[in-house]
Amino acid sequence: MTATLGSGRLAGKIALITGASRGIGAAVARRFAAEGAHVVLAARTIGGLEEVDDQIRAACFTSGGGSATLVPLDLREFIKIDELAAALYERYRRLDILVGNAAEFGVFSPLGHIDPKQWGEIIDLDLTANWRLIRAMDPLLRAAPAGRAIFVTSRLARDAPPYYGAYAVAKAGLETMVRIYAGEIAARTAVRANLIDPGIVRTRLRAAIFPGENPAALPSPDSVTDAFLDLALPECTRNGEIVTLTPTAPDQSRA
């Protein structure tokens, strides 16, 4: 892992982004790199990671922006999260920004009809993997001058609509967990942790939940990256908050 220092508001920062091969994760990766960060991109799809890396290289070649390290990783293999933390410590001795974005939806179903294996897979990725990230990366965030942790949530966590099953349950648990973490770090560290509900965005996850929508009518993932950047900056003092972005598409339940 070799970081290239760039210019911008995140110059020299090390940022780990999960679910970075597409959608919001890829958009945040491109934005953070454009602001000078070295982005460590984790996802299961190596082809998608390579595409994002190509985009970052092309954009930053002439702008003096940041660079990327690709980490093919299934976050449900929890020990690999610990191994990644060890590698980041060995190389950088810190982590400035953690973005927990990776998630899957599962199926629409009454709770009692969900296959236990599928329930476990969704809870493992959408909730437990984020706890493992906090557990593994917390020492690295504390070692940074102003560690920032940002997790992606959904209105479904608070609305609790029928049939949204494991996804809504996992997001509700994620919100509570991050708020607990924020309370634990508030007084004694410079780390700050928050959540973003991006609202209606054109993503693969959104398409899985609302297959009848016209994706061309929805805002692109790049449209929400300002909010991620704001929470990643050292001067951000917000902590334990859910930042809800205003939807710009027809009013529907948001993923």
Can you count the helices (H) and strands (E) in the chain?
9, 7
Q: What is the pTM of this model?
A: 0.91
pLDDT at 54 over 50: yes
pLDDT at 207 over 90: no
pLDDT of residue 171: 98
Residue 222 falls within a domain, yes or no?
yes
Note down the domain range covering 94.
14-244
Q: Per-residue confidence at 217, pLDDT binned at 50, 70, 90?
A: low
Is residue 69 within 8 A of residue 44, CB to CB? The reply is no
Residue 8 falls within a domain, yes or no?
no
Can you give the CATH number for the domain in which 55 is found?
3.40.50.720
Walk across the sheet containing 38-43 and list its strands. Answer: 67-72, 38-43, 14-18, 97-100, 148-152, 192-197, 242-244
List strand residue ranges (DSSP E) for the chain, in order: 14-18, 38-43, 67-72, 97-100, 148-152, 192-197, 242-244
Count of structural domains, the chain: 1
pLDDT of residue 200: 83
List strand residue ranges (DSSP E) for 44-133, in order: 67-72, 97-100
Residue 249 falls within a domain, yes or no?
no
Residue 187 falls within a domain, yes or no?
yes
State how far the Cα of 212 lies from the Cα of 11, in Å rounded to an integer.
41
- Tell me the Cα Rg of the chain: 17
Residue 146 falls within a domain, yes or no?
yes
Mean pLDDT calculated for residue range 178-194: 97
Average per-residue pLDDT for the chain: 90
